[in-house]
Amino acid sequence: MSRAVPLIVAVDGPAASGKTTLARRLARHFGLEFLDTGLLYRAVARALLDAGRSFDDVPAAAAAAAGLRAADLSAPGLRDEAVSQGASKVAAIPEVRHALLAFQRRFGAGGRGAVLAGRDIGTVVRPDAARKIFVTASAEERARRRCKELQAENVAIIYERVLEDLRERDARDQSRAVAPLLPADDAFVIDTTDKDIETAFAVARAYVAGASSAPATQDSCRPV
Ligand code: CDP
């Protein structure tokens, strides 16, 4: 008897675009596993901070990536700003990306499939994904959302500072030589600037279900 091929859904996009929330909801709706690949890079940055190493210490970063354990992905403090900036620095190190690749590629292989959220899922990790979504939104809207999230956690924060941090991280993610943040040619682009999560989810769900499959043109899908 032949087994169904696992369904792989790639959800990429810049910081605070809403990709992780969307990806998690898609996974729940379609009964798939879910992986937030950003946590892998965050856990590497956290390990370097804890060990007192700098983010450009390539051997230490590669060793931290190779030695990650599942528990490291739920460690406290992974969303701290220092960790966010560190994650995008270690993510530019080819040895780190290489060490994290096999785990990401295997994820969801044994079951019904998986939704993976990140920056390079549709382009590098799973270019063979049956469905690819690129989620974007204006930098100002993304900063506003991140601000609200942080305020809800009682973190004292200034909007301008959040916006500046997002822009800095976007620039680093887009300009790195290896696996830069960009939509796959065949990605379905969802701009969530004027969409609430329900609307964005409805659009994404229809696309994953196969109701709407037209890839967007490259010009309309550059992250802001
Ligand atoms: O949640 P947010 O969008 O702010 O960030 P994240 O998805 O947790 O990713 C943190 C950092 O990890 C990003 O700024 C990227 O530099 C890096 N990353 C990556 O390079 N490739 C991925 N597949 C996922 C994250």
CA 206 to chain centre: 21
Return the sign of the alpha-carbon dihedral for residues 150, 85, 97, 71. Answer: negative
Ligand 1 centroid from CA 96, angstroms: 13
Give the C-alpha separation, 49 to 173, whole Å.
Answer: 20
Tell me the CA distances in angstroms from 29 to 26, 33, 99, 104, 145, one per residue in order. 5, 11, 31, 21, 24
Whose tokens are 């990306």? That residue is: 97
Instruction: Please give the chain's pLDDT, 224 residues, in tens.
Output: 556 789 999 999 999 999 999 999 999 999 999 999 999 999 999 999 999 999 999 999 999 999 999 999 999 999 888 999 999 999 999 999 999 999 999 999 888 999 999 999 999 999 999 999 999 999 999 999 999 988 888 778 889 999 999 999 999 999 998 989 999 999 999 999 999 999 999 999 999 998 544 444 443 444 44
Ligand 1 centroid from CA 135, angstroms: 13
Helix axes 159-175, 139-152, angle to 10 degrees: 120
Give the C-alpha separation, 218 to 151, whole Å.
Answer: 35
Q: Which residues pair with 35 in a beta bridge?
A: 116
Token output for 137: 């939104």
Ligand 1 pocket: which of 20, 41, 166 to mutate (most atoms within 8 A of CB): 41
Residues 34, 152 contacting (CB under 8 angstroms): no
The predicted model scores a pTM of 0.89
Work out the number of other CB atoms within 10 angstroms of the CB of residue 196. Answer: 9
Q: Which atom of ligand 1 approaches the CA of 90 most closely? A: 16
Token output for 200: 């964005």
Ligand 1 pocket: which of 22, 37, 80, 142 to mutate (most atoms within 8 A of CB): 37
Q: Is the CB of 165 under 6 A from ligand 1?
A: no
Q: Which amino acid is at 19?
A: K
Token output for 71: 């528990």
